[in-house]
Amino acid sequence: MDVRFRATFINSLWGFRPLALIGTSDKFNRTNLSIFNSIVHLGANPPLFAMIVRPDSVERHTLENIRERGEFTVNMVGKDFVEQAHQTSARYPKEVSEFDATGLTQLWRNGIDVPFVKESAIQIHATVVEEYRLAVNNTQFLIAQVEQVFIEPATIQEDGYVDHIKAQTATGCGLDGYYEPQLLKRLPYAKVK
């Protein structure tokens, strides 16, 4: 297999993934925004998640900032701003903020030193818990904790389920495919029959 063919194939093999914009700032208050599709749920109590960061990618600015501050924001990508979200993956130099480059709007909240994305319907403030280096291919595995979630109450169903159809959350496949899901169904808790 050709190297690029193979990269596209393996990257898209796993189907649909969460899309989030990670908002950070450095000690000079320069902001950075980068699209990630590698968020994975770790547990609800405490509310933990993980992200994969490739050291050779544009994501490295994000990782440097996260290490500097110990905190960052996770902003779920909505279908109305997938082009702008995708554009954050361009290799901008560190002194250029992807907020300026893409036209996405910085939102600052009291007592939090990292920027949110105003356009996002689901905004999360997170702090770093732990970091592993995966020796096998030199990627970083970052574990973080949810501190606060900013979301319209109408987007949360009675049992706590976040309605991503109402939030108009997009999903991604590979590095460049953007999709809009439709609900098939929510199923009851599976029991042995």
Contacts to a second copy from residues 146-165, by CB under 8 A:
146, 149, 156, 159-162, 164
Interface with a second copy (CB under 8 A), residue from 26, 30, 52, 60: 52
With CA atoms as reference, report the closest residue to 124 among 112, 134, 135: 112
Which secondary-structure segment (H or E) carries 85? Answer: helix 82-87
Point out which residues pair with 146 in neighbouring strands: 126
Is 70 an interacting residue with respect to a second copy (CB under 8 A)?
no
Q: Which of 30, 42, 127, 128 binds a second copy (CB under 8 A)?
A: 42
Cα–Cα distance measured from residue 80 to residue 104, given in angstroms and rounded to the nearest whole number = 11
Q: Which of 81, 92, 99, 116 binds a second copy (CB under 8 A)?
A: 92
Binding flag, residue 108, a second copy (CB under 8 A): no
> Contacts with a second copy in 161-190 (CB under 8 A)?
161-162, 164, 169-171, 173-174, 176-190
Backbone angles phi, psi at 99, to 5 degrees: -60, -50
How many residues belong to the site for a second copy (CB under 8 A)? 92
Closest CB to a second copy among 27 and 190? 190
Residue selected from 30, 54, 60, 109 as contacting a second copy according to rule CB under 8 A: 54
Nearer to a second copy, 11 or 105 (CB): 11
Of positions 64, 129, 131, 150, contacts a second copy by CB under 8 A: 129
Q: Which is nearer to a second copy, 108 or 157 (CB)?
A: 157
C-alpha to C-alpha distance for 94 and 58, rounded to whole angstroms:
9
Contacts of 130 (CB under 8 A, 6+ apart): 142, 143
Contact residue for a second copy among 110, 136, 153, 154 (CB under 8 A): 136
Token reading at 6: 């193979």
Choices 23-31, 37-45, 60-68, 108-116; region in contact with a second copy by CB under 8 A: 37-45
Torsion, Cα of 90, 91, 97, 99 (10° steps): 10
User: Is the CA virtual torsion 52, 58, 63, 65 positive or negative?
Assistant: negative
